[in-house]
C-alpha cells in the first residue's frame, strides 16, 4: 500500500471528552488528519461509540471537514492483504487519548535523540546555545530526557534490549 492508515479515536482525541456529548474540537489534530488525507493517507474513525452517538460523532466530524474512509472497520485493501477480516483494525498510526507506548531501548534512544535536537534548535533560536552539546547533555541530559519521556507518556525504563 502506498499510503498510511491513521486510526483515530473520538472522545478525548478528536474532541474534548464529554461522552456521550461532544466536547470542544481538537483543531490541531483535525488539521493534522486533513493534511494527511489530502496527501493520500486514509482515515479510520476508531471509537467505542455506537448507534445514535456514533452518528452524531460522524456528522460532527463532517462539519469539521473530516470524512472518514472507514468507521470501526478495516479498509478493503487491508482485508485483501490480510486474507480476511481481523478483529483489530490495522493502521500505521493509532491516535487515542488512552495510548501508552512502551518503546524498546533502541526506539527510545532515537526518540530522545530527536527531542534533544528540538531542544538544541530551540536554544539556538533563543541565542542560548553557545555550546549546544554541553548546554543540554551532562548532568541535565537525564533530567531533560526523562522529563520529556514522562510528559509524552513514554516509559523510561532503562532495561537493556535482549
Ligand atoms: Mg478516547
Per-residue pLDDT 10s for the chain (162 aa) are 899 999 999 999 999 999 999 999 999 999 999 999 999 999 999 999 999 999 999 999 999 999 999 999 999 999 999 999 999 999 999 999 998 877 777 787 787 778 778 877 777 787 765 555 555 555 566 676 677 767 666 655 544 444
What total of structural domains would you count in the chain? Answer: 2
Evaluate if pTM is beyond 0.95.
no
The reply to whether 11 and 83 lie within a common domain is yes
36 & 79 share domain: yes
How many A from CA of 96 to the centre of ligand 1? Answer: 6
Do 64 and 117 fall within a single domain? no
Q: Which domain holds residue 137?
A: 105-152
Q: How far is the CA of 39 from the centre of ligand 1 (A)?
A: 26
Ligand 1 centroid vs 57 CA: distance in angstroms?
Answer: 12
- CA 40 – CA 42 distance, rounded (Å): 7
State the distance from the centre of ligand 1 to the C-alpha of 134, rounded, in angstroms: 40
In angstroms, what is the span from residue 142 Cα to ligand 1's centroid? 31
Let me know if residue 54 belongs to a domain: yes
19 shares its domain with 64: yes
Which is nearest to 30 in space by CA: 54, 65, 5, 60? 65
The alpha carbon of 48 and the centre of ligand 1 are apart by a number of angstroms equal to 8
Q: If residue 78 lies in a helix (H) or strand (E), which one and from where to where?
A: helix 76-82
Per-residue confidence (pLDDT) for residue 106, from 0 to 100: 77
Q: What is the Å distance from ligand 1's center to 16 Cα? A: 9
Domain at 80, CATH number: 3.40.50.1000
The torsion angle over the Cα atoms of residues 134, 138, 139 and 140, rounded to 10 degrees, is: 50
Distance 85 CA to ligand 1 centre (A): 24
Question: Is residue 14 included in any domain, yes or no?
Answer: yes
Report yes or no on 159 lying in a domain.
no
Amino acid at each position: 500500500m502506498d499510503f498510511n492508515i491513521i486510526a483515530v479515536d473520538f472522545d478525548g482525541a478528536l474532541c474534548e471528552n464529554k461522552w456521550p456529548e461532544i466536547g470542544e474540537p481538537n483543531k490541531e489534530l483535525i488539521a493534522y488528519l486533513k493534511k494527511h488525507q489530502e496527501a493520500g493517507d486514509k482515515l479510520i474513525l476508531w471509537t467505542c461509540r455506537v448507534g445514535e452517538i456514533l452518528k452524531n460523532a460522524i456528522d460532527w466530524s463532517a462539519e469539521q471537514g473530516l470524512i472518514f474512509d472507514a468507521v470501526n472497520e478495516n479498509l478493503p485493501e487491508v482485508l485483501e492483504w490480510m486474507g480476511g477480516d481481523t478483529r483489530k483494525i490495522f493502521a500505521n498510526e493509532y491516535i487515542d487519548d488512552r495510548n501508552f507506548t512502551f518503546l524498546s531501548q533502541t526506539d527510545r534512544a532515537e526518540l530522545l535523540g530527536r527531542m534533544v535536537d528540538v531542544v538544541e534548535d530551540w536554544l539556538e533560536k533563543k541565542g542560548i546555545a553557545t555550546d549546544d552539546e554541553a548546554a543540554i547533555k551532562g548532568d541535565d541530559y537525564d533530567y531533560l530526557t526523562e522529563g520529556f519521556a514522562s510528559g509524552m507518556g513514554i516509559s523510561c525504563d532503562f532495561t537493556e534490549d535482549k
